[in-house]
Amino acid sequence: MAEGLRFELLGPLRALHNGTEVPLGPPRQRAVLAVLLLQEGRPMSYDALVGAVWGDEPPSHVRNLAQKYVSGLRRAFAVAGGDRSAPDLVWTGSGYRLENARIDDLAERRTLLRAALAARESGDLRRAGALAREAEELWRGEFAEGLTGPYLAGERRRWAEKRLMVLETRLEGDLELGRCHECVHELVRQVAEHPLRERLVGLLMLALYRSGRASDALTTYEEARRRIAEEMGAEPGPALRDLHERILRQDPSLMPTSALAS
């Protein structure tokens, strides 16, 4: 692992050396680095790299550009002082491989979420929630924010989904702990940002119901049903419909157990 240079992608790409940000050059050069970092040490053919960064219609002088950006990245890596642990961008004969480099904030996020999952499976919901929050705090913006190219656009969508899934699981745990009032405010904001995401709508309905606001929970369902009909020409999914029915009949199992709420 590279000890002298820390790479981060949970937000705008950046490299840090002893806490100081290292200039990484123009946006396309940064995109080349981000794509190679995501290969996690695997070689990437020249053609695949060009397609990932420039798409199906690269400029006629793309080979010169690629070589220029690789040279620029090698100069940027030189800030690590030539240490054998410094990143190295190697030509394989058909493409490039980035050695001695990892995406440090992604690695830290994985470690925290594995620990959060283990804590949740052992029944320690408070620790699981704290670890999940710590993982969320690593985000500084969108994944590889500001960098263009089809590969990174796809990765950005994928990581946005993963980020939301972790958030939903963390909020679900908070509701199991009885933190209903605290969750309502965050869930209102999340539903406003993701109005068609039914799991978030369901969590907001549950948080409102457990806060003694059953009528607001039902109104939230009706608003979501209307949005889904207008945007997608469909009805809410079975999970959301079932939750709506359970709220209507005031199902006792919707409330957290006293052990979790304590």
Count other Cβ atoms within 10 Å, centred on residue 214. Answer: 16
Q: What is the pLDDT of residue 84?
A: 62
CA 132 to centroid of chain Cα atoms = 12
Residue-wise DSSP of 33-94: HHHHHTTTT--EEHHHHHHHHHTTS--TTHHHHHHHHHHHHHHHHGGGTT-TTS-EEEE-SS
Give the pLDDT band of residue 79 (cuts 50, 70, 90): confident
pLDDT per position as a tens digit, 227-260 = 999 999 999 999 999 999 999 999 999 987 643 4
Q: What is the pLDDT of residue 68?
A: 97
pLDDT per position as a tens digit, 93-110 = 999 999 999 999 999 999
Q: Considering the domain 178-262, what is its CATH architecture?
A: Alpha Horseshoe (1.25)
Which two three-digit tokens encode residue 247?
């709220």
Residue type at 195 in one-letter notation: P
pLDDT per position as a tens digit, 109-143 = 999 999 999 999 999 999 999 999 999 999 999 99
Q: What is the pLDDT of residue 75?
A: 93
Give the pLDDT band of residue 81 (cuts 50, 70, 90): low
Q: What is the pLDDT of residue 2?
A: 42
The share of the chain scoring above pLDDT 90, in percent, equals 90
Count other Cβ atoms within 10 Å, centred on residue 166. Answer: 19
Residue 22's alpha-carbon distances to 8, 43, 61, 109, in angstroms, are 12, 24, 27, 22
Domain residue ranges of the chain, discontinuous segments joined by +: 6-99, 178-262
Q: What is the pLDDT of residue 258?
A: 45
Give the pLDDT band of residue 152 (cuts 50, 70, 90): very high
Mean pLDDT of the 159-171 span = 96
Give the pLDDT band of residue 83 (cuts 50, 70, 90): low
Q: Residue 9, SS3?
A: coil
The share of the chain scoring above pLDDT 70, in percent, equals 95
pLDDT per position as a tens digit, 11-34 = 999 999 988 999 999 999 999 999
pTM of structure:
0.88
> Could you give the CA distance from residue 10 to residue 141 in angstroms, rounded to a whole number?
7
CA 226 to centroid of chain Cα atoms = 29
Task: From the options 3.40.1170.20, 1.10.10.10, 1.10.357.10, 3.40.640.10, give the CATH code of 6-99.
Answer: 1.10.10.10
Residue type at 154 in one-letter notation: G
- What end-to-end distance do the CA atoms of the chain give, in Å? 44
Give the pLDDT band of residue 262 (cuts 50, 70, 90): very low
